[in-house]
Every structure is written in C-alpha cells, then in structure tokens.
Amino acid sequence: MSIQVILALAVFVGAYILIATEKVPRVTVALVAAALMIIIGATDERGIFFSQDSGIDWNVIFLLLGMMIIVGILQQSGVFEFLAIWAAKRAKGRPFVIMVMLVVITAVLSAFLDNVTTVLLIAPVTLLICDRLNVSPVPFLIAEVMASNIGGAATLIGDPPNIIIASRAGLTFNDFIVNMVPIIAILLVVFIGLCWLMFRKQLSFDPTMVARVMALNERETIRDKILLIKSLGVLVLVVTGFILHSVIHLEPAIVALLGAGLLVLITRLENRKIFADVEWQTLLFFAGLFIMVGGLVSLGVIEAVGQAAIEAVGDNFFAAAAGLLLGSAIFSGIIDNIPYVATLAPLVNDLVQAGGPAAEPLWWALALGSDLGGNATAVGASANVVVLGIAMRNGHPISFWTFTKYGLIVTAVTVTLCLPYLWLRYFAGG
C-alpha cells in the first residue's frame, strides 16, 4: 500500500469521524477533506469536474438545486398547512385518526419533497393542532418524522441517498416507483400499526376539545392562490417529466432545472424568495463528498475493496443484499446516510457490474437500508435533528433516548420486513 493511499484513507476516515461526531460543521469537513485529497494528489481538476466515476456528480447537485427552488416557492403557497388542518377537521379531533392522516400526508409529501422541508412544514401545524386538542405533540412529531423517512424512500427524489443511487446506477424515476413503492406502502401500513401500539396510551380523546379544532380556519393558510396553482402545476409537470424519462430522454436534473426556471419565470418572485430554501451548504457538502470519495476511486481503493467484496459474495446475491440492507441500516442510524451512500455507491456499482442483472437488487437493498436506518436514532437523519429542535423550541423537548427507543423498534420492524420483500421479489424465482 503506497503512502498516497495511506494518506487518502487517513483523510477519509478522519472526515467520517468528524462528520459522525458533528464537532465541526459537515460542509467544512467535506471541503477540507476534498482539498486534502487534491494536495495528496489523489485527484485533480479533470477528475473533479469531468470524470463520471471519480468526479462531482453534477446530476445529483443540480437535481437537488432544481427541487430546492421548486419546493421553496411551492411552500410559500400554504398548501401543506391547509392539508394538515383540513385532515384534522375531517378526523373530527380524534387524536389517533389525526395522527394517521398526518403520517400519511407526511409520507406522501416526503416522496416528492426532501424530508427536512417536509417536517419543517408539518411540525408547526402539528403543534397548533395538538395545542388545540390539549394533547402532547411529542408522539405526533416522532411519528411524522419517521413517516417522512419511510415515505422519502419511495421515489428517486424523496431522499438524497436515492438521488445518489439513481445517478450512479442509472436508475430512473419509474424504476424507483416500481421497486420501492410496493414495499414502502406495506411499511407505511405496518408503521401505522406500530404507532397504535407505541403511542395509543398518550393519545387521550377529550370531546370538549373538538370544537377548538373545528374552529380552525384552514382557508387562511392559502396566502396566494395564483402562486399555489402555478407552483402545483409546475410540480406536476416536473414529476411527469421524471416519469416520461424513457420518452423525452431528459435526465432528472435537467427536468428539475427546467421546472425551476419555468416557475421562476411565471411567478416573478424576487430573488430572495426564490432562493430562500436553497441549501447552498448542503450542495457544497455533496460536492466535497464526491471529491473525497472520488480520491479513493482514483487511487483504486474502492476497486480493491469491491474486488474483495465480489470474491466474498460469489453468486450469493441474496446474502449480499441482506448484509447490505442490515449493514446500511445500522450505519445510517449512527452516521449521516449521505456520506455513507456516496462511499458505498461505487462499491455496489462494482458488485453489480460483476454480477450482472442478478446483482441489481443490491441497489434496492442499499436504498432501503440507508433510508430506513435513519429512523433508528435521534441523529440518524437530518429531519430527526430538525424536529427535535422544533420540539425543544416550543417547550416539548424530546430526549435522544425517547426518540431512539421508538426509532429502534420502527427500524427493526421495517428493515426486517424488507428481507422477505427482497427475497420474494428478486431471488425466490431464481
């Protein structure tokens, strides 16, 4: 092993530790690690900007940018708050029915918006509804963030790891719909049952509070009807563009950018509002990660590990998928699933290239494990951290262990259910 490889591995491991411990902002870690990879000579400008294997994945960066712009404009319409209050009123103030409706709304929204945006939209209105019902919002907030992590796994755009997997594996929006939606729908039904078991004792129903919920005027949340129509129209067009990929031959990133451009053009909002929800730090974090992992790819480290994995797996791809699913769930519960998937994606790519179509389910195992594993602990996903912060600010603190005791149950059940799905769907016939 050369000095260059040892240094690159040291940078990589050091960056992972710093990202996991959150002592330093993750974007700083990723960018410094990327710079060190360049200084070591592990990569160069050609590798960084133009290589499909070891460079920045521009499809991922621009798909995220486009969706952030679209969602940022759409959320200003107030439609999500309208939906949540409407649902609470349809449930006639019964806490568990409200929880089920909010869980379903959150999961469906998460399939099309990023999870952090979804919980940022749903948490305040949940606090309002719980305030009116005079019940603790803690079970609702925990259920919603978990529903967000489950629902986000359903589509290509629902969770950043899926975007990375889709780009690296060449998978389309429809591939995700066909392969992920069935299991996610099952998991959502099971999750609602788990909510009943875990939270039913905390959901006392007081009929005298119903009138307070029914008095909420959801129409007041719609601030700009024209904006709502325009932004929903563009979102429908963008999703249609994703679905018609095989016909129009446009990459998801291009579809999202075209949609964002169209929305900017027809809404004519000021720049401050258009770019308010673009998380530039997240985009830079992704760029830094791609350079850091690209350094290992350029030096042949990933290929060597991939070769070892190919020999270890042989043709037992179900065992590999099970290991990848469980390992990804455990890792993603402890560390950010984005750097995890950014590192694993080239490795899985090597396995799939060597194994052919029989090994393709490994991508779904990686996606399911890394997406669902985020529920395991309070720090397993960015959305969890955001919800804990909102709960704390509003006087309903949720401790790390309170979240984690529910998270471990939900993760164990949902990930375990993925095993028979993978077996029946991809391996039982062979």
| By CB under 8 A, residue 210 contacts other proteins | no
Burial (Cβ within 10 Å: 0-12, 13-18, ≥19) of residue 69: buried
Closest CA to 43 of 354, 51, 64: 51
Stretch that binds other proteins, among 121-129, 157-165, 296-304, 314-322 (CB under 8 A): 121-129
**Which of 131, 193, 314, 401 lies at the binding interface for other proteins (CB under 8 A)?**
131
Considering only 212-220, 253-261, 324-332, 368-376, which stretch makes contact with other proteins by CB under 8 A? Answer: 212-220
Candidates 7-15, 164-172, 216-224, 372-380; binding stretch for other proteins (CB under 8 A)? 216-224
String of contacts with other proteins for each residue 36-75, x by CB under 8 A:
----------------------------------------
- Residue with smaller CB distance to other proteins, 57 or 81: 81
DSSP code per residue over 220-240: GG---HHHHHHHHHHHHHHHH
Span near other proteins by CB under 8 A; candidates 57-65, 109-117, 118-126, 398-406: 118-126
Q: Which stretch binds other proteins (CB under 8 A): 116-124, 138-146, 178-186, 329-337?
A: 116-124
Count residues binding other proteins (CB under 8 A). 24
Distance CA 164, CA 347 (A): 13
Which residues within the stretch 152-171 sit at the binding site for other proteins (CB under 8 A)? Answer: none
Q: How far is the CB of 400 from other proteins (least distance, A)?
A: 18
CA distances from 401 to 151, 194, 293, 397 (A): 23, 18, 32, 11
Amino acid letter, 374:
G
Closest CA to 20 of 331, 408, 324, 287: 331
- Does position 277 interact with other proteins (CB under 8 A)? The reply is no
Q: Which of 32, 97, 104, 128 binds other proteins (CB under 8 A)?
A: 128
* 272 contacts other proteins (rule: CB under 8 A): no
Query: What DSSP line would sit under 11-49, residue for residue?
Result: HHHHHHHHHHHTSS-HHHHHHHHHHHHHHHTS--HHHHH
The residue from 218, 228, 250, 303 that contacts other proteins (CB under 8 A) is: 218
Contact with other proteins (CB under 8 A) among 87, 102, 103, 125: 125
What is the CB-side half-sphere exposure of residue 422 using CA atoms within 13 A? 28
SS (HEC) of 81-149: HHHHHHHHHHCCCCHHHHHHHHHHHHHHHHHHCCHHHHHHHHHHHHHHHHHHHCCCCHHHHHHHHHHHH
Interface mask (CB under 8 A) for other proteins, residues 373-402, using x and -? -----------------x--xxx-------
Match 């005791």 to its residue by tokens: 405
Per-residue three-class SS string for 180-201: HHHHHHHHHHHHHHHHHHHHHH
Q: How far is the CB of 219 from other proteins (least distance, A)?
A: 8
Q: Which stretch binds other proteins (CB under 8 A): 18-26, 39-47, 125-133, 184-192?
A: 125-133
Is residue 217 a contact point for other proteins (CB under 8 A)? yes
The answer to whether 407 and 379 are in contact (CB under 8 A) is no
Footprint of other proteins on 220-239 (CB under 8 A): 220-221, 223
Q: Which residues bind other proteins (CB under 8 A)?
A: 78, 81, 85, 120-121, 123-125, 127-128, 131-132, 212, 215-218, 220-221, 223, 390, 393-395
